[in-house]
Structure 1
Amino acid sequence: MKNQPRPRIAARALIEQSGALLLIKCFDHRGYWYYLPGGGQRANETLHECLHRELYEELGVRIDIDELLFVREIIADRHHDTELPAGFHQVEVVFRCRLVDGEEVCQGASPDPDQMGFAWVDRSRMNDILFFPRSIAATIFDMKNGGYLGEIR
């Protein structure tokens, strides 16, 4: 069992401003798709430190972190239609965050390889875009300390 893959832990930010959600924008054979900014936790790094680093790398911004909203998992081997690699298992911890006053979002110095940019997506458009996790696209604006959501896509 030494070579058994371990779950990856990631921190994500839900940043809402004027009725729109800040999302990472990507492109592949499916077209444009979106997800919450943030990323993988490094060794000896707290989730808050991870989130501060990731938001600066991806979007060049400083943030204030508010409450924990929810925890979700994605286990690729349970889905036949996923683009994720076999064996991929990620635990995501999502926090409500705010941009530090005066911060302007831009393409950060170290964006993710699939990142095409960012988008502010209005609440009314969430069901019209390919957003991950898909199952909460319609309700994500209203999340309040949802706890553990389980394995969702």
Structure 2
Amino acid sequence: MTLPRISVSVKAAILHDDQVLLLSYDDHSGFHYNLPGGKAQEGENLRAAVHRKVAQETGLAVAADRLLLVTEYVPAAWNNEFGTVHKTQFTFLARPLGNTTTPRFQDPPDPIQVGFEWTPVDRLTEVYLLPRIGEPLVAALHGRLRDPFIDRW
């Protein structure tokens, strides 16, 4: 039996003044938002990956607090909508460190990223957030999520 290749990534729900930082993108999926984050490197623990990816994508230093969600994407279950790689994503609550909450673009910039937006927590269900975690994310941020495992992307 061959073990599957599984991509492991992290995301940060950076909370400041009841708002969460979203990155906006325009690509083959159309205009949408993502939480900052990305793939963990081999040998890197998940909280360290949160610190590294948030710093890369936003220039912000954060403290990675508690785990909010675990999201899994199984390509065959979703007709390969978001590629053919099996993915797991760990979303952490994070808080900015220091005095700055103004994000900056990467250097060099990501060609499909178009901006940043601090979005009120209760508005997260109204935006096109990929993966589609708006409702469970709001529930998790309010401490009302019963099951943190999300099996749809």
Q: Matches of residues 2-151 of structure 1 in structure 2 within 5 Å?
A: 5-80=4-79, 82=81, 84-85=82-83, 87-103=84-100, 104-109=102-107, 112-134=110-132, 136-143=133-140, 144=143, 148-151=148-151
* Structure 2 unaligned blocks of 5 or more: none
Give CA-to-partner distance per residue, 1:34-59, whole Å, 9 cap, x none.
11111101112111111111111100
* Structure 1 unaligned blocks of 5 or more: none
Where in structure 1 do 4 or more consecutive aligned residues deviate above 4 Å? 110-113, 145-148
Equivalent pair of 1:70/1:146 in contact (CA under 8 Å): no
Task: Decide whether aligned partners of structure 1 residues 58 and 146 sit closer, same or farther in structure 2, where only a CA change above 3 A counts.
Answer: farther
Task: Decide whether aligned partners of structure 1 residues 70 and 29 sit closer, same or farther in structure 2, where only a CA change above 3 A counts.
Answer: closer
Report the number of matched residues: 149
The two structures have a TM-score, normalised by structure 1, of: 0.82
The residue type paired with residue 95 of structure 1 is: F
The two structures have a TM-score, normalised by structure 2, of: 0.82
Equivalent pair of 1:57/1:111 in contact (CA under 8 Å): no
Q: Distance in 2 between matches of 1:110 and 1:63?
A: 21
Question: RMSD of the TM alignment (CA)?
Answer: 2.4
Percent identical: 27
